[in-house]
Amino acid sequence: MNIQLQLTIVFVVIIAMVILVLMVRKKSLELRYTLVWFVMGIGVLILGVFPGLMFRLSELMGIADPVNMLFFIGFCFSLAIIFTLTMAMSRASKKIKDLAQAIALLQSQESHHMECSIESNVDSSAGSNIEEENENE
């Protein structure tokens, strides 16, 4: 790998990490979701600065070609992202279901209270009308 490619990789990774930090500061992204991206960025940064490390890692794992090692790392990263997003989506789905049930209960209680207050108003007005009729006779 030539030095120009290494510098390009380092530059792109650093820019991406700065953008991630800015997005976390602006609260566009939550920190817990960006940690996986930071780990991947650091990994790419290390492999970009030390390209011989990819050859050693692929030899240690018994992978014939370092490019295949790169695809394997990308596949593992994709699985980690998918797993993280699936967990987040499951939690959000449960919260939405719980909130919808709570709203339904509140609406049911509110309509019950309104019915009770209407009935009591009707009863009290009917009672006062009967009393007025008795007084008029």
Taking only the tens place, the pLDDT of each residue in 28-37 is: 888 887 888 8
Taking only the tens place, the pLDDT of each residue in 22-56 is: 999 998 888 887 888 888 889 888 888 887 888 88
Asked whether the predicted pLDDT for residue 134 surpasses 80, the reply is no
pLDDT at 7: 87
Q: Domain-by-domain residue ranges, the chain?
A: 3-114
pLDDT at 3: 84
CA distance 124 to 130: 10
Asked whether the predicted pLDDT for residue 129 surpasses 90, the reply is no
Burial code of 34-44, b = ≥16 C-beta within 10 A, e = fewer? beebeebbeeb
